[in-house]
Amino acid sequence: MKDKQKWFKEKLKKVSPEIKMEMQLSAEIIAKIDSILKEKNITQRELAKKMGKSEAVVSRWTTGFPNLTLRSIAELSVALGEPLICVNV
C-alpha cells in the first residue's frame, strides 16, 4: 500500500497547477450539487427529469470529475434554485 501512495504522490507532483485547480473546482462544484440535493431532498432522477436530461448525464455531473461547461453549471443552478458558483469582482 505504501508503494502505491508513494507512486501517487510522485505523479501528483508532476501535475500542472492548472489541472490541480480544475480538479479542485470540480470537486467543490460536485460537493455543492450534492449538498443542495440533500438539503432539498431531491434525487438525481428528479433533477434529471426537471432538466430534461438523462439520469446518466446527471450522474456524470455529480460523480467523478466532469468537464462542466458554464452552460451546464447555469442549467444546474436554475434547476436547483441556487447558484453553484459566485464570481466576486
Residues 46-80: tens digit of each pLDDT? 999 999 999 999 998 888 777 889 999 999 999 99
Parse the chain into domains and list their residue ranges.
25-89
- Three-state DSSP class for residue 66: coil
pLDDT cut 70: percent of the chain above it: 99
Domain 25-89 indexed as CATH 1.10.260.40: yes
Instruction: Record the pTM.
Output: 0.80
CB atoms within 10 A of CB 84: 17
Say if residue 30's pLDDT is above 70.
yes
Q: Which residue has the higher pLDDT, 23 or 38?
A: 38
- CA gap 11, 31 in Å, rounded: 25
Q: Does the pLDDT at position 1 exceed 90? A: no
